[in-house]
Structures are given as structure tokens and as C-alpha cells.
Chains A and B, each alone.
Chain A
Amino acid sequence: MSFLDIGLALLVVLVAVWTIAAQDLFASAVGYVAYGLLLALVWIRLYAPDVALTEAAVGSGVTGVLLIAASKRLGALKIAALEAPPSLAFKLLTGVLALLVASALAAAILMLPDPPPSLAPEAAVAAEGPGAGLGNPITAVLISYRSFDTMLEKVVLILAVLGVWSVGADQAWGGAPAPLRRSKPYPAMVFLAQMLAPVGALIGIHVFWVGADAPGGAFQGGALLAAMWMVAMMARLRDPPRIDAQWLRLALVAGPAVFLVTGLAGVVMAGNFFAYPPGLAKPIILFIEAFMLMSIAVALPALVAGPPSGRSEQ
């Protein structure tokens, strides 16, 4: 164990303390973004570059935008959160409870079974057998070994989008969500979006494409594409689309729909639900992932943009 590991661990915990202790909601949200990026470094140290990419893009980046946008919108409502601060005794009691839970978890970690149980051999089989030709075992697990879970996860994303849209007022249904930014953006912001978004979109597609053999994949690439779209929305180059737009709805369902149809075709072609015919596995998996990339790239900005606002566009 090096000083790097200890330093990183201390830094992560300190920034986490900051997000809890900060007085201001905005400061806390900014702290959370920094925390997510540091956590991504910890994931690298755990030999998990795929998780690190997802944590940096989704856990830190997109969640950060969501929280910061929410704090701005809440501020625009001009209502104060008036509530009595908790008493000292309650604080102490909560502290003791939190300490107990953390200690129990730490004790469990120190007493993990030896030798550790592992499903790695099965993942190796998936990477060589049904997911043939994939150099990245994580992608093989996501699309082959746990294909049904991954498909349902896309369905969860769509359900969340539906949930967010349904929260809007009745008369606003079908309209566009409020812009991510009310005021006129700074010229520097517009310039950044114009320069960054095309390059970022290319990187997103690259991350998706190399995901078959190297760290990356549809999740990480899709999150990058989504981030670029959100940058364009924050600079007001584009406003959020109307939620009754046909292309938006098609793009949302395309990922799980193509995944499910391919899975059903597996019954005929390869003799099993979600089985891929040998030799064709890699092109089929990339085909499915391309549509999932599109669904993720559309779903994440839709979740951040929120419900239709009902106000006319400015």
C-alpha cells in the first residue's frame, strides 16, 4: 500500500465530509462533483477502469449537473427552506448510529471469507463462448452473461423518464421542459460549447467503439454524448426538445426494443433466449450496443431537463 492510496482515501473522505457539512446547497453539489472524480481514481486503483469511467461520467458529471440545475431551479422559486435545526442530542444520537453502521460494515470487510468466492471463470467462459471475440470481459458480461438485466436496466431508464415527465402539470403535457439556463449565457460558455461538443461527441463514439476490447462501452460513451448535448443546452445553443417529439420517443425506446428483438431472435437462430449465433456474436453485440448508446444519450439529458414546464419559450 502506497502513500498514493492513503492520500487518495483521506481526500475522498474529506471531500465527502465537505458535501455533508457545507452550509450552502450549491457548495455541497460542487463538492459532490469533485468527490465523484476522486472516487473514479479509487476505482482505477481497484483495477476497475470501466467503473471509473461510469462513475466519472454518470455518478459525478451528470448527477452533478442534475443537482446544480435543481438547486438553481429551487432558488428561482424564491422560497426559503425554513426548518428548525436538529437538537444536539439528536445529532449525537444520529452520529452514534452512523458510526455503528460504518463500524459494522468495516468489520464485515475485514472478515470477508478466504478464499474469496468468484464468478470470474464464468465471465471468462462468456467472453470466449457466447460473447466471442470481445476483449473486454465487462462488455461480455453486460451484453451476454447478464443480458436480460442490462436490457431491463434500459427499461428502468425509460420508466424514470416517464416518471419525470409525469410530474409536470397536466396542461403542460407534450410541451418542452424549461431551458437549463434562464439568463443569456456568457460568450465564453457559448464558445466552450461550440468547441467542446463536437470533439466530445467524437470521443463518446470512440469510447463506445473501443468498449468491445478495451475499457469503455455503451454506458460510458452514451453518458459522454449526453453530457455534450447538455453543454449545448446550457449554452442555449439548443433548448430541450418537446416531449411529444416523435424522434425523441423513438430514440428512447430503440435501445431496449432492439435488444429485446435480438434476444427473441436468439430463440430461433441460436436455440436460446438472448443467445447469439457463434461467429456473429461480436457484430450483433455491437449492433445492440449502438442502439443502447442512442437511448442512453437521449435518456440522460431528458432526465436532467425535467418535466415539461408549460411556459411558452422565451
Chain B
Amino acid sequence: MTPSILAGLVGAALVGLGLYGLILHPHPLRKLLAFNLIGSGVFLVFGIVARRGAAAGFPFDPIPQAMIITGIVVAFAASALAVALILRLSAKSGRVTLDPDAWAKQNGADAK
């Protein structure tokens, strides 16, 4: 097993961990954090594709690496948008949740 395969397996483990957190955590910010964990795991898996594609005198394939750099920046932009939406939703609704049932319960209480 080479260091790059090991890094790829770490990436696979991170995707699994992130998926677990994304499904189980009720808190939206924790979900976002878990989602970022999945993202970095995917980047790592892609990173070993870059490492294995070493050719033409480079110790890596520069094209997947450039795509990962683009990906990290776009992932941050999406996270920032998600944070803004979560904060606005919480301020507006008075509760920190993505659970649609919580909304139904609140509306039901308002109707009474």
C-alpha cells in the first residue's frame, strides 16, 4: 500500500463519517459541517487520482489538482450561502431546525 492509496482510504472514511453526521445531526450548522467533511473526503479521493496520474515529468497530474483548488473555493462559497440562509431562517422562525414537522407544529399552535 502506497501513501497515496492510504490517503484515498482516509478520504473514503471521511465521506462515510460526514454522511453519518449529515443524516443524524438535527442542528443545521452541524449538518453543514458534516457536509464539508464529505466534500474534503471527495477532494482527497480525487487527489489520489491526481497523484497516480504522474506523467510528463510532473510528480502529479496538474489538471485534477487545479480542479480541486477550484472546488475548495466553490465549496466555501456554497457554505457561506448556507450559513446566511440558516441564520436568517432561525432569526425569522425563532427556532434552529430544518425539520418541516417543527414548522407544522408551530403553525398548528398559531392557529389555535
Contacts and interface: CB of A to CB of B under 8 A. Distances in A.
Contacts of A43: 47
Interface residues of B, number: 85
B44 A121 contact: no
Nearest to A1: B3
B53 to A, nearest CB: 3
Interface residues of A, number: 98
Contacts of B37: 16, 19-20, 32, 35
A46 interface: yes
A39 interface: yes
Contact of A51 (B6, B47, B63, B74): B47
A130 to B, nearest CB: 14
B70 A48 contact: no
Contact of B48 (A109, A127, A159): A109
A58 B16 contact: no
Contacts of B27: 25, 81, 83
A28 B33 contact: yes
Nearest to A220: B69
Contacts of B58: 120, 123-124, 137
A42 B25 CA distance: 27
Given A81-B26, A105-B45, A45 B7 contact: yes
Contacts of A12: 10, 14
A71 interface: yes
Contact of B62 (A85, A120, A156): A120
12 contacts: A1-B2, A1-B3, A16-B13, A19-B37, A29-B33, A32-B36, A48-B50, A67-B33, A74-B87, A80-B96, A109-B45, A160-B80
